[in-house]
Amino acid sequence: MVKTIEGRTYDEALAWLRDNGFDITEAPGTNGRVFLRKYNVSAAIQKTQEDGVKIFAYPGYLIGSEISKLVNRGYQQFLKTSKTEIPASADHLKAIQSFSEELKQAVGLPSLYNESLGTVSESYHYDRIKDRDKPAVERPKRPWETAGRTVGPKKARA
């Protein structure tokens, strides 16, 4: 069954965000764009021409004063800024997910099943699929492909 979700106007969304504990800061030098903060997570929204709401900067954990991007490397998720990259803890991920779900509710966006299960990364960088699209002879050898090999010819058993 499909649910119909009513979008909110920019002013309705701001009122909802204020009522639900978000810190709202006007973006300097712009009109109709604000930064939101809660759980040490931040995002930015802006007013559209139709008086709707558009997410300008997607939610990310604050590291210093910069909004980080969540990067998934397959074995670990990381919070990446222009200056640093740190491993994301369970608390970081929970804060980002809670913030994202509340932001969707404020703006009137649908909450998708796969996103509701956990935090969705902005980019995925799995080391085991890197260069997989190249021909086999052009691919670099992986550590597990060269592990245990000795240098020189193999000795035959007697």
Q: Chain-centre distance of CA 14, in angstroms?
A: 23
Q: Among residues 99, 10, 2, which one has the least CA distance to residue 46?
A: 10
Residue 130 has a pLDDT of 67
State residue 125's pLDDT score. 57
Average of per-residue pLDDT across 26-49: 87
Taking residue 105's Cβ as centre, other Cβ atoms within 10 Å add up to 16
Of the candidates 154, 152, 158, 45, the one whose C-alpha atom is nearest the C-alpha of residue 103 is: 45
Residue type, 48: T
Strand order in the sheet with 69-72: 85-87, 77-80, 69-72, 123-124
pLDDT at residue 91, as a whole number: 93
pLDDT digits (tens, 9 = 90+) for 94-139: 999 888 888 888 887 766 655 665 566 655 555 556 676 778 788 8
pLDDT at 13: 86
pLDDT of 39 over the 90 cut:
yes
Write out pLDDT tens, residues 53-82.
888 888 889 998 888 988 887 778 889 999
Residues 3-35: pLDDT tens digits? 556 677 888 888 888 898 898 888 888 788 899
Residue 1 has pLDDT above 50, yes or no: no
Which pLDDT score is estimated for 145? 74
pLDDT of residue 133: 72
> What pLDDT was estimated at residue 92?
92
